[in-house]
Amino acid sequence: MSDIAQISEWPDYSTNPRGGDPITQDLTSPYDKGDLAWMAVCTILCWQITPAVGFLYAGMHRRKAALTMVFQSLFCACACGIQFWLYGYSLYQSRPTNPMLGNLSLGVLHNVLAYPSLANSDIPDLVYACFGFTFVTATAMILAGAMLERGRLMPSMVFLLCWTTFVYYVLAYFEWNPNGWLYKLGVLDFAGSGPVHIASGFGALAWSMLLGPRLSDSPLSSRKKIAHFKPHNPTLLTLGTILIWFGWFAFNGGSTANMSLRSIYVMINTNLAACGGGLGWPLFEYIHNRKISIVGFCSGIISGLVGITPAAGFVPVYVAALIGFLTSICSFYTKKFSYLISVDEGLDIWAIHGMGGYVGDILTGFFAASWVPALDGVTGNSSPGGWWERNWIQMGYQLAGATTCAAWSFGVSCILLFIINKIPGMHLRATKEDEIRGLDYKYFDDAECEIMGESGTLEGVRVQYPLDGTNRQQTKQ
């Protein structure tokens, strides 16, 4: 066996983008094993956020369309994962000099190996790529809820892949690549409020507007009025929320891209914001209705997580709960008065993620402290702090970043939806018959149950919903 040399200095990137020769050099030696282990664990925990969102949405749906949401979560995990490998990572983490978008130099993760990542020189490109694919799959799944019981499956999947290409990766380049124009401007977005929450929220608003309101099961229903339905399974909704909260420790904590005091600080901020949001929404729900709900409690927790996403690595712990509380209140009132724009956005994606992310960006600009980022042992004095450290212009940067993400996502989403809807066979809205019967029974053979027959044995049945919404009929197989 030949001697394995240690890496003492990285070669020029243009000469060797892989960082060295793994046969003759130990490409792991320059990196701290603790950082690598931390990022690996965070990747694993982040991945389960995508199916967790599927469980959350399934619980909030009516039963006849719940399975569709579980399927969409696995579709996002698979299809967006392949897309990320083919060209997604390259679009936002390649090293061009333009301020708008990356190139395809890292397509199929070509040359992605040991060279220090753009996110943090403490970890290699390969590790950051591994962590990054969990973000795009979760973002796509957040957006997928906008099809809410009335969107056709195939056109919806096409739209999701187009959306991640032209919205998510573009905004991720703007904010996370050192060459991106929002990054250079000085926008503070620790873990992805713009590309993840604001973008998915305003994309969901555009999608909901195009699809129109859901139909009720009444034969007298029309698409002109918004029907309101209660979640069919609050327990499944709660389970989804628990898993999202659990995964968000890694979603935010891993965004430090190393294992440091800042990572621990970020997790504390994440938890406190979720606590503040979980108390804020039910409080105002009780003020208005004299009752609280599991849906409202879970919505408040998620609102708090959304609000702290851009702020977790920039603000002191003593304002984290306040950020979650304020974000949940803004999301609550956005939901409460959303009827004014006559959009059936029954999962509150725009209210919680779109407006919650927007508010979180602004609060980040207000509360950011220059010493918090320095806890990573790398940043030093390069972070300017926010409004309350007299860096007045930071609020302007935050407004510019949040507004850019909202406008880009909404505008591009409208264009993509219009084009896809005009392609023959790709109309986005399900037929009246399929919608009333249920998307699960349109698309999935699994949409069956078992009942006890007269003989005492289990007999398979397929549940069928009549088109007029009357009593359901059970047909033996």
Average pLDDT over residues 279-289: 96
Specify the pLDDT at position 147. Answer: 94
> Which of 30-34, 429-433, 448-452 has the least mean pLDDT?
448-452
* pLDDT tier for residue 26 given thresholds of 50, 70 and 90: very high
CATH class of 29-214+231-433: mainly alpha
Q: What is the predicted pLDDT for the residue at 81? A: 96
Query: Higher model confidence: residue 404 or residue 228?
Result: 404
CB 59 within 8 A of CB 40: no
Q: State residue 472's pLDDT score.
A: 44
Chain segment 299-358, per-residue pLDDT in tens? 999 999 999 999 999 999 999 999 999 999 999 999 999 888 889 888 999 999 999 999
Query: Is residue 1 predicted with pLDDT exceeding 60?
Result: no
Average pLDDT, the chain: 90
Task: Give the whole-angstrom CA distance, residue 141 versus residue 361.
Answer: 22
Q: Is 290 left (phi over 0), alpha (psi -120 to 50) or beta?
A: left
Provide, rounded to the nearest whole percent, the portion of the chain with pLDDT above 70. Answer: 91
Strand ranges, E, within 121-241: none
What per-residue confidence (pLDDT) applies to 476?
Answer: 38
Angle between helices 320-336 and 294-308 (to 10 degrees): 120
SS3 102: coil
> Backbone dihedral region of 475: left (phi > 0), alpha (psi from -120 to 50 degrees) or beta?
beta
pLDDT for residue 215:
85
pLDDT single digits (tens) 54-99: 999 999 999 999 999 999 999 999 999 999 999 999 999 999 888 8
Region for 16 from its dihedrals, namely left if φ exceeds 0, alpha if ψ lies in -120 to 50, beta otherwise? beta
Task: Tell me which amino acid residue 335 is.
Answer: K
8 A C-beta contact, residue 35 and residue 122: yes
pLDDT band at 448 (very low <50, low <70, confident <90, very high): low
Nearest CA among 408, 365, 386, 366 for reference residue 203? 408
Digit-coded pLDDT (tens) for 112-130: 999 999 988 999 999 999 9
Task: Return the pLDDT at 54.
Answer: 96
Q: Compute, in degrees rounded to 10, the torsion defined by CA atoms 265, 267, 272, 276.
A: 130
Q: Has residue 462 got a pLDDT over 60?
A: no
Looking at 178-260, list the stretches that DSSP marks H as alpha helix, in order from N- to C-terminal side.
181-185, 199-211, 234-253
Contact indicator for 262, 372 with CB cutoff of 8 Å: yes
Instruction: Compute the C-alpha angle 323/316/176, nearest 5°.
Output: 80
Sign of the CA dihedral 298, 300, 303, 308? negative
How is the chain split into domains, by residue range? Answer: 29-214+231-433
pTM of the prediction?
0.92
Distance CA 364, CA 384 (A): 12
User: What SS3 class is residue 450?
Assistant: strand
Has residue 218 got a pLDDT over 70? no
pLDDT at residue 459, rounded to an integer? 40
Given a cut of 60, whether residue 51 has pLDDT beyond it is yes
Tokens representing 240 are: 């989804």
On the question of pLDDT at 466 being above 50, the answer is no
Q: How far apart are CA 443 and CA 35, in angstroms?
A: 44
pLDDT tens for each residue of 129-139: 999 999 999 99
What is the CA 351 to chain-centroid distance, rounded? Answer: 14
Q: How far is CA 390 from CA 82, 107, 182, 385, in A?
A: 45, 43, 21, 8
Percent of the chain with pLDDT over 90: 79
Residue 92, C-beta contacts closer than 8 angstroms, at least 6 positions apart: 102, 169, 170, 172, 173, 176, 177
The string of pLDDT tens digits covering residues 390-432 is: 999 999 999 999 999 999 999 999 999 999 999 999 999 999 9
Give the confidence band of 389 by pLDDT, cuts at 50, 70, 90.
very high
